Structure 1
Amino acid sequence: MTARYCSLAQASAPVFAPGLGAERLSALISGRRMWVNGTVLHYYFFDRDSDGSATPDPETGHVRQVSWVGSKEQQDLVRECFQEWHGLGVGLSFVEVRDRSEAELRIGFQRGDGSWSTVGKDALQVGLNDRTMNFGWDLTAPGERGTALHEIGHALGMLHEHQSPFAGIHWDDEAVYADLAGPPNFWSRDKTFFNILRKLDPDEVNGSVWDPHSIMEYPFAAGMILEPEQFRAGLNPPGLLSRADKEFVRRWYPPAETPGPRELVPFRSAPLRLGPAEQADFVVEPPETREYTVGTFGDGDAVVVVFEERDGEPRYLTAQDDGGTPHNATVKARLVKGRHYVVRVRLYSSWGSGETAVMCW
């Protein structure tokens, strides 16, 4: 029986300014979807029958409401999978919320719409009333728990492992197209190419070695893969987090270090001294209530994110990513005296003198 596959939405490749050096471009491609470390990702399950999309019935033409609500058993399984990822000791954490406006990740269970997720911080581009993740079949069925782990992997910034240019897979293209065109997927040729046959940029993948055991790897029936020879009879990943999966997420989201963040004092610059993909965290205790500006300086590509601490956890306030531009990241936010704020700066790459700094004023 053909497996059900995750179907990522087709998206245009990012466009960067011409003339960027190879090292700078590589850093931008690899890190552009990744969250800043220390982020608390809030997730929300659509919980009312009215949550869903209005869809015309193909036979009657009558508009019917499609529910995005999942059963308690399916929701509990997804909760367990979030905890499994967090249990690796990563610097991200996951908190369920009841208000969708507080959630970066909004999860539906629409049957027949496939299972999919936005990738990393692409979730921030989705409207508050829309899903960033969907599960299109019963996750509690035998062998389907890996689907939840897989989609959460996408939410962390991971892509499909079989599309790695390091895999060396030689496909029987027409066999793949024919298989995916039938049940249970019913994919178009474009969707099949985008999610299976298309090769990713080397800088987008989890590492320089293909991992056939990855949770981000699809299973494939016999006859779809011609090479490597050992997979002609089929490829059947175990549906678990592999060692390489764990190494990848720990590398991008390492546990918090001690001592904690430095204080960012208004009108006093703080040198960053960061290498590629490294991050610096700061706390801001505003001396007065007003609009503040937080910005970086120097020859570097960086993303700056400002969080406000509420109920003991950081909530996303505003951000700017200057990756690939000639400008430094600058954000404006109204900060309130007596409240606690966190500024996180993640560097893609630096050039020139390599000296970078951040300031609040």
Structure 2
Amino acid sequence: MSDLKKTKICTQKILDIHKPEMDLINSHTPENQKKLRAAFFTKKLWTPGSTITIGFLATGENIKRRDLSSSQDIDPLEKVVSSLSVQEAIKKIVNERIQPLVNLNFSFIENPSNAIVRISFDPDGGAWSLVGTDHMGQKDGATMNLGWFDVGTTIHEFGHLLGLIHEHQNPNGKTIMWDKPKVLEWAKETQGWSESTTEENIINKYDKNSINGSDFDPLSIMLYFFPSSLTTNNSGTQQNFRLSGEDVMWISKTYHKEDGVSPEVFYQNTYGTSLQSSIDKSKMLSDKFNNPNSNYSNWKNIVFGVCGVLLIILIIVLVLKFRRKREVPQIYNI
């Protein structure tokens, strides 16, 4: 798995009081299966109009900036913030990607000890964040860590701040068919995670009654790359570096801002494409994702069909040869 070592994913910090709400998915009713696209932990949502203070516990200049120049569909801000300090880059990302969509106020303050959200930059600590209002429940130390910097990871962690959960922990258990032994091995090798950390951040699901959203979104900023080799149906996920149309729609809907820009206008102005086109693409990918072997099945049917035709032709040829042999006149010597 050496080619997968560059994959980095965040740990989603859950306070102990909420951990029993994970991995409680026992039924798959049509109603439950309609949940979770940009998926929110409903108990952790902020009150509309809340002011969320944010402080930095360090400068952030010690962490590595990821080079995404060769990646596709990166956020346009990636180039814009490359010349800014990490702190100023984070402020710009929040002000241009989160603030326009929500009826919340983000205030960066000088003294982090007085802040609700306290961001550390520990390169050995990975990337993680408490979820939603859990930030108010931890009075000391960091409530978010960025062990590396890029725009997508920053948006992802602030997605957790809004109450968003990891997309791959969709309560619809049929979404990702994990090969658990391989996942545990991969997470240990690439992330240095224990079995319990891996189960909490990748394998376990949330209680459907605790989540608000719609269907699984393969383009969500809250979804990380997982190779197909980690699944039993050979269907992995892709790395996403920017907000999807579904992300924008559900964030805007959850934290509706009366005088805010519409999701459609925001998406068009931000990414130069329509919100609906992103939603349509998500649906198309989701259909393929939930039927990962459809292409394989089609090819298999074609191969079997061709082989069947060839077999029939071969049988016809043999029959004709046999008949001709029987029809050859016999010459008898008298």
Q: TM-score, normalised by structure 1?
A: 0.55
Please, which of 38, 54, 57 is the counterpart of residue 49 of structure 2? 38
Equivalent position of 1:120 in the other structure: 132
Equivalent position of 2:182 in the other structure: 175
Distance 1:112 1:72, change over 3 A: farther
Equivalent position of 2:238 in the other structure: 236
Structure (1 or 2) with the larger CA radius of gyration: 2
Distance 1:190 1:47, change over 3 A: closer
In the alignment, the residues of structure 1 paired with residue 14 and residue 114 of structure 2 have an alpha-carbon distance, to the nearest angstrom, of: 26
Q: Does structure 2 conserve the Cα–Cα contact (< 8 Å) formed by 1:44 and 1:98?
A: yes
In the alignment, the residues of structure 2 paired with residue 39 and residue 186 of structure 1 have an alpha-carbon distance, to the nearest angstrom, of: 37
Equivalent position of 2:274 in the other structure: none
Query: How far did residue 48 of structure 1 move?
Result: 7.3
Distance 1:116 1:212, change over 3 A: same
Equivalent position of 1:92 in the other structure: 104
1:260-319 Cα deviation digits (max 9, x unpaired): xxxxxxxxxxxxxxxxxxxxxxxxxxxxxxxxxxxxxxxxxxxxxxxxxxxxxxxxxxxx
Please, which of 182, 185, 196 is the counterpart of residue 202 of structure 2? 196
Q: Does structure 1 conserve the Cα–Cα contact (< 8 Å) formed by 2:41 and 2:165?
A: no
Q: Does structure 1 conserve the Cα–Cα contact (< 8 Å) formed by 2:58 and 2:121?
A: no
Q: Which amino acid in 2 is paired with 1:188?
A: S
Map 1:237-256; keep pairs closer than 5 Å.
237-256=239-258
Distance 1:206 1:217, change over 3 A: farther
1:169-196 Cα deviation digits (max 9, x unpaired): 111111110001113x100000000000
1:95-127 Cα deviation digits (max 9, x unpaired): 211022431111110110111011111001112
Q: Which amino acid in 1 is paired with 2:12?
A: L
Equivalent position of 1:77 in the other structure: 89
In the alignment, the residues of structure 2 paired with residue 162 and residue 105 of structure 1 have an alpha-carbon distance, to the nearest angstrom, of: 25
Please, which of 5, 8, 11 is the counterpart of residue 4 of structure 1? 8
Q: Which amino acid in 2 is paired with 1:182?
A: E
Return 5+ residue gaps in structure 1 as ranges.
Answer: 17-25, 50-70, 259-361
Query: How far did residue 198 of structure 1 move?
Result: 0.3
Q: Which has the higher contact order (CA 8 A, sep 6+)?
A: 2
Q: Which amino acid in 2 is paired with 1:35?
A: W
Question: Greater strand percent: which structure?
Answer: 1
Q: Which amino acid in 2 is paired with 1:150?
A: H
Q: Which amino acid in 2 is paired with 1:173?
A: K
Q: TM-score, normalised by structure 2?
A: 0.59
Return 5+ residue gaps in structure 2 as ranges.
Answer: 22-34, 61-82, 261-334
Paired residue secondary structure (1:42): strand
In the alignment, the residues of structure 2 paired with residue 217 and residue 203 of structure 1 have an alpha-carbon distance, to the nearest angstrom, of: 21
Query: How far did residue 32 of structure 1 move?
Result: 1.4
Q: In the alignment, does 2:198 pair up with 1:186?
A: no
Equivalent position of 2:318 in the other structure: none
Q: Which amino acid in 2 is paired with 1:248?
A: W
Paired residue secondary structure (1:111): coil
In the alignment, the residues of structure 2 paired with residue 257 and residue 145 of structure 1 have an alpha-carbon distance, to the nearest angstrom, of: 26
Q: Aligned-pair RMSD on alpha carbons? A: 2.7
In the alignment, the residues of structure 1 paired with residue 211 and residue 226 of structure 2 have an alpha-carbon distance, to the nearest angstrom, of: 20
In the alignment, the residues of structure 1 paired with residue 91 and residue 196 of structure 2 have an alpha-carbon distance, to the nearest angstrom, of: 33
Map 1:1-361; keep pairs closer than 5 Å.
1-2=4-5, 3-14=7-18, 30-47=41-58, 73-127=85-139, 129-137=140-148, 139=149, 144-166=150-172, 168-183=175-190, 185-227=191-233, 231=235, 234-256=236-258
**Bigger Cα displacement from structure 2, 78-87 vs 239-248:** 78-87
1:58-94 Cα deviation digits (max 9, x unpaired): xxxxxxxxxxxxx962222221221233354321121
Identity of aligned residues (%): 30
Q: Does structure 1 conserve the Cα–Cα contact (< 8 Å) formed by 2:128 and 2:145?
A: yes
Q: Which amino acid in 2 is paired with 1:136?
A: G
In the alignment, the residues of structure 2 paired with residue 75 and residue 256 of structure 1 have an alpha-carbon distance, to the nearest angstrom, of: 29
Question: Greater helix percent: which structure?
Answer: 2
Equivalent position of 1:306 in the other structure: none
Q: Does structure 2 conserve the Cα–Cα contact (< 8 Å) formed by 1:180 and 1:187?
A: yes
